[in-house]
């Protein structure tokens, strides 16, 4: 049994919060660069150019890419041979987020849902635990802004809705998002399970690196088809017209009840902030 002291995680979480807010991963920058080549609209190209410049300034000057430094979701994959010691892991994670948002000069955007009173330190983060084989601990930190999360949707269809019903729901969700959320978008789609599972799958689909297709060839083909369809809508960067509305569509599925067809769409903006570490 490998022992990991949870107090060691505080600094790690803090660092991941700060780093994810001030720099994009290479896959995202690479996709924005490629989008510039595909984009036919001069205004769209100019916007994409400015986004890359923004990322460079953020990284070099340690200033957040986007002022909405989001609410944090922490995904934890805990190896079943790991023994967590030294305290409550949940509290260690929240302390890491607390320190990251204070020391990193990040915006505190978390409040009580009804009174709307700000918690003042961007906690609590949303935490997803998964127990996996092995003796490692994988931590993924994803700060996500409301501009994209507000345009995400979930529903449960009857099975008769079929693939056409799913497509219609995905495209309608994207059409609304494309002129409100900061496009080009990354679209995560979760199909199956229950309503909760579909919503989780949709968000988890965003964790997959850009350029990596779904392992299932049927899903990979759907991803490609939906991406082309969305880009033919003409919304373009920031929705101001153009060829590149979406950078990637990621689909994840799970078996569901014979009588139901849950579907969720998680919309992500171009400021796709995500950092992970394996301990």
Residues that bind other proteins (CB under 8 A): 22, 40-43, 46-47, 50-51, 53-55, 57-58, 61-69, 105-109, 116, 118, 146-147, 150, 179-182, 232-236, 238-243, 269-271
Whole-number Å distance between alpha carbons of 65 and 145: 12
Shortest CB 98 distance to other proteins, Å: 14
| Angle at 246 (CA atoms; ends 242, 248), nearest 5 degrees | 150
Q: Whole-number minimum distance, CB 239 to other proteins, in Å?
A: 6
C-beta separation of 265 from 202 below 8 A = yes
- Between residues 150 and 212, which has the closer beta carbon with respect to other proteins? 150
Closest CB to other proteins among residues 69, 200: 69
3-class state of residue 188 by DSSP? strand
Minimum distance of other proteins from residue 67's CB (angstroms):
4
Q: Tell me the closest approach of the beta carbon of residue 241 to other proteins, in angstroms.
A: 2
Tell which residue, 175, 155, 174, has the closest CA to residue 165. Answer: 155
Contact 26, 33 (CB under 8 A): no
Spatial separation of the C-alpha atoms in residues 118 and 131, rounded to whole Å? 32
Longest dimension (CA), the chain: 58
**């807010």: which residue's tokens?**
21
Closest CB to other proteins among residues 109, 152: 109
Helices (H), 179-259: 195-204, 217-231
Peptide bond into 258 cis (omega under 30): no
| Nearer to other proteins (CB atom), residue 108 or residue 136 | 108
In the complex, minimum distance from the CB of residue 109 to other proteins, in angstroms, rounded to a whole number: 7
**Rounded-to-integer distance, Cα 99 and Cα 188, Å:** 30
Q: Which is nearer to other proteins, 22 or 198 (CB)?
A: 22
Task: Quote the least distance from Cβ 42 to other proteins, whole Å.
Answer: 5
Which CB sits closer to other proteins, 2 or 172? 172
Q: Report the b/e string of 28-51 with b at 16+ CB within 10 A.
A: bbebbeebbeebebeebbebbeeb
* Nearest distance, CB of residue 52 and other proteins, angstroms: 10
Shortest Cβ distance from residue 229 to other proteins (Å)?
8
Name the residue nearer to other proteins (CB basis): 12 or 41.
41
What is the distance between the alpha carbons of residues 34 and 26, in angstroms, rounded to a whole number? 12
92 vs 141, which CB is nearer to other proteins? 141
């Amino acid at each position: 049994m490998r022992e990991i002291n949870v107090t060691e995680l505080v600094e790690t979480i803090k660092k991941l919060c700060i780093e994810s807010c001030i720099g994009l991963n290479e896959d995202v920058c690479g996709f924005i660069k490629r989008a510039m080549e595909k984009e036919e609209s001069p205004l769209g190209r100019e916007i994409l150019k400015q986004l890359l410049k923004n990322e460079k300034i953020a990284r070099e000057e340690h200033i957040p890419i986007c002022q909405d430094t989001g609410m944090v979701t922490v995904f934890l994959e805990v190896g079943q041979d790991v023994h967590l010691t030294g305290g409550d892991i949940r509290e260690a994670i929240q302390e890491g987020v607390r320190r990251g948002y204070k020391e990193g000069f990040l915006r505190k955007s978390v409040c009580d849902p009804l009174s709307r009173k700000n918690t003042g330190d961007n906690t609590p983060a949303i935490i997803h635990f998964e127990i996996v084989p092995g003796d490692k601990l994988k931590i993924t930190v994803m700060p996500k802004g409301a501009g994209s999360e507000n345009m995400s949707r979930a529903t449960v269809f009857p099975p008769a809705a079929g693939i056409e019903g799913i497509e219609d729901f995905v495209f309608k969700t994207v059409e609304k998002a494309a002129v409100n959320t900061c496009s080009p978008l990354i679209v995560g789609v979760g199909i199956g399970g229950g309503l909760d599972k579909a919503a989780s799958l949709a968000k988890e689909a965003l964790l997959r690196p850009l350029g990596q297709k779904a392992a299932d060839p049927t899903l990979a083909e759907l991803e490609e088809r939906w991406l082309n369809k969305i880009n033919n809508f003409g919304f373009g960067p920031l929705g101001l017209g153009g060829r590149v509305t979406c950078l990637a569509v990621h689909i994840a599925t799970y078996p569901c009840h014979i009588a139901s067809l849950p579907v969720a769409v998680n919309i992500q903006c171009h400021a796709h902030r995500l950092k992970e570490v394996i301990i």
